[in-house]
């Protein structure tokens, strides 16, 4: 018994260690090589320890005064969007998972249906830009993503693990639906909510699509659009350098791609420890039951 347990432990630790290594090594290369000079990337490719250090890729990425403005737009969109999404998704998923809720199945189906069948691009654009009048509004970057069906269904799966007796007990104690949800159900699903929060935050942080479509005013451009613009136009520009453009040095085409990865990872480095904290103490169900 003890032996097989130990054998199992060895398997566990080595499997995890193996996976950590294959994830860490390429990622290390991304981070380190984002500080490599463009010429060492061109001649030697990705290296574990680049031969020549340079911050040119970051300088290129962060040129101009747009950076801080974009950063704050992104922060506002991410914080407001994530908070609203969390509220709407969790309440919606609760209804979809609720045994006594009417049309729960239909609601789920409709949610799922829109995930597969979109509305078509032009229709979506006209709805947001013209009917809702959200053109050049910060809300155009928030509202369309409020409910992600994928995350809603993950939450549904979580809610379903909560025994229905919890609801009944709460009702007997005189709690109304809101109290039941926010005071009792919500704390019990903290790990799941933390996960969803993380995913929503990522979604808002990484989005450029809505901004491209609906925001023409560059004062309201989020970070990702700034980066996308630089990268998308970079090849074109480096192509043009041959003609009439002359920069002091070649554009860091390869370096910027790596630097982008490091820049987009920003929020996660801040957010992930919080999320992890909630993963450890998800023992509430047992506590309530007992």
Partner 1 sequence: MKKRFAAILCVFLMTTVLAACAGGKSEISQSSASSTQAASEKLDPVTLKILMWGNRPADFDKVVAEAERRMAGTLNVKLDVVFVPVSDIMQKIQMTLASGEEADLIWDSPLASMYSNIASGYYEPLDDLLKKYGQNILATRPPEMFEGNKVNGKTYGIPLGDSQYFGYTYLIRQDIRNKLGIAPIKTYDELVKFAYAVKAKEPGLAPILPSIGFLSEASFRSRFDQETQIRRTQAMADITLYYKNNDGKVYNLLDEMEPKVWDWIKNARKMYQDGIIHPDVLAIKDYEGEFSGGKAAIIPVNDFGVKNNIEQAVMKNVPGGKVEAVTFFDKTPKKNITNFSQWNFMSVPITSKHKERAIQFLNWTQQKENYDLLAYGIQGKNWEAVGDDKYKPLDSNYSWFPYLWIWNPTFERLNASQSEEVIELNKFTRDANNFEKDVLTGFQFDPQPVLNEMTKFKTIEDKYYPTIFNGVLDPDTAWADFKKEGGPSLKKIQQEMQKQIDAFLHE
Partner 2 sequence: MFGHIVAFKQFRPSQGIWGSKWAGLDNFKFFFSSDDWIHVTVNTLFLNSMFIFFTLGIALILAIFLNEIRYALYKRLAQSVIFLPYFVSWLVVSFMTYAVFNTSDGILNKLLNAMGEGSYNWYGNANLWPYILTALFVWKMSGYVTIIFFSAITAISSEYYESATLDGAGRFQQILHITLPLLRPTLVVLLLLQIGRIFYGDFGMIYGIIGDNPILIPKTDVIDTYSFRALRSLGNFSMAGSVVLYQAVMGLITILFFNWIARKIDRESSLF
Length of the chain: 290
d(CA 67, CA 210): 19
Q: What are phi and psi of 188, to 5 degrees?
A: -75, -20
Which of 143, 283, 266, 140 lies closest to 205 in space, CA to CA?
A: 266
Q: Which of 64, 105, 187, 250 binds partner 2 (CB under 8 A)?
A: 105
Q: Which of 123, 133, 187, 250 binds partner 2 (CB under 8 A)?
A: 123
Count residues contacting partner 1 (CB under 8 A)?
48
246 near partner 1 (CB under 8 A): yes
Residue 148 C-beta: closest distance to partner 1, Å: 16
| Residue 12 in tokens | 């566990």
Q: Which of 153, 181, 200, 204 binds partner 2 (CB under 8 A)?
A: 153
245 near partner 1 (CB under 8 A): yes
Binding at 258: pick from partner 1, partner 2, none (beta carbon under 5-8 Å per type) = partner 2
Which residues in the 175-194 window bind partner 2 by CB under 8 A? 188-189, 191-192, 194
Alpha helices by DSSP H, listed for 100-175, are 104-116, 121-125, 149-160, 165-172
Q: Which residues contact 45 (CB under 8 A, 6 or more apart)?
A: none
Closer by beta carbon to partner 2, 23 or else 245: 23
Q: 53 forms bridges with which residues in the sheet? A: 36
Q: How many Cβ atoms sit within 10 Å of the Cβ of residue 246?
A: 7
Q: Which residues contact 62 (CB under 8 A, 6 or more apart)?
A: none
Three-state secondary structure call for residue 144:
helix
Binding mask 15-54 for partner 1 (x = CB under 8 A): -----------------------xx--xx-----------
135 near partner 1 (CB under 8 A): yes
Residue 288 C-beta: closest distance to partner 2, Å: 10
Q: Which stretch in 69-77, 92-100, 125-133, 159-167 sits in contact with partner 1 by CB under 8 A?
A: 125-133
- 36 touches 23 (CB < 8 A): no
List contacts with partner 1 (CB under 8 A): 38-39, 42-43, 63-66, 118, 120-122, 125-126, 129-130, 135, 209, 212-213, 216, 218, 225, 228-233, 235-251, 253-254
């Amino acid at each position: 018994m003890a032996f097989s347990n130990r054998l199992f432990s060895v398997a566990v630790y080595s499997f995890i260690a193996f996976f950590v290594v294959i994830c860490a090594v390429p990622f290390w290369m991304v981070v380190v090589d984002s500080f490599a000079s463009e010429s060492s990337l061109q001649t030697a490719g990705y290296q574990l320890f680049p031969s020549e250090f340079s911050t040119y890729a970051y300088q290129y990425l962060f040129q101009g005064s747009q950076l801080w403005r974009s950063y704050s737009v992104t922060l506002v969109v991410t914080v407001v969007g994530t908070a609203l999404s969390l509220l709407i998704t969790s309440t919606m998923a609760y209804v979809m998972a609720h045994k006594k809720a009417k049309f729960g199945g239909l609601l789920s189906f409709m949610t799922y249906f829109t995930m597969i069948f979109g509305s078509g691009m032009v229709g979506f654009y006209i709805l947001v830009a013209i009917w809702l009048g959200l053109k050049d509004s910060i809300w155009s970057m928030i509202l369309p993503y409020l409910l992600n069906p994928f995350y809603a269904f993950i939450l549904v799966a979580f809610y379903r693990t909560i025994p229905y007796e919890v609801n009944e007990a709460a009702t007997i104690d005189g709690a109304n639906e809101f109290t039941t949800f926010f005071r009792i159900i919500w704390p019990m699903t903290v790990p799941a909510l933390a996960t969803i929060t993380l995913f929503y935050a990522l979604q808002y942080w990484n989005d450029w699509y809505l901004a491209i479509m609906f925001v023409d005013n560059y004062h309201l451009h989020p970070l990702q659009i700034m980066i996308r613009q630089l990268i998308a136009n970079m090849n074109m520009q480096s192509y043009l350098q041959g003609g009439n453009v002359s920069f002091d040095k070649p554009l860091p085409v390869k370096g910027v791609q790596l630097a982008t990865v490091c820049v987009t990872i920003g929020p996660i480095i801040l957010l992930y420890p919080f999320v992890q904290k909630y993963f450890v103490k998800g023992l509430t169900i047992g506590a309530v039951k007992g």
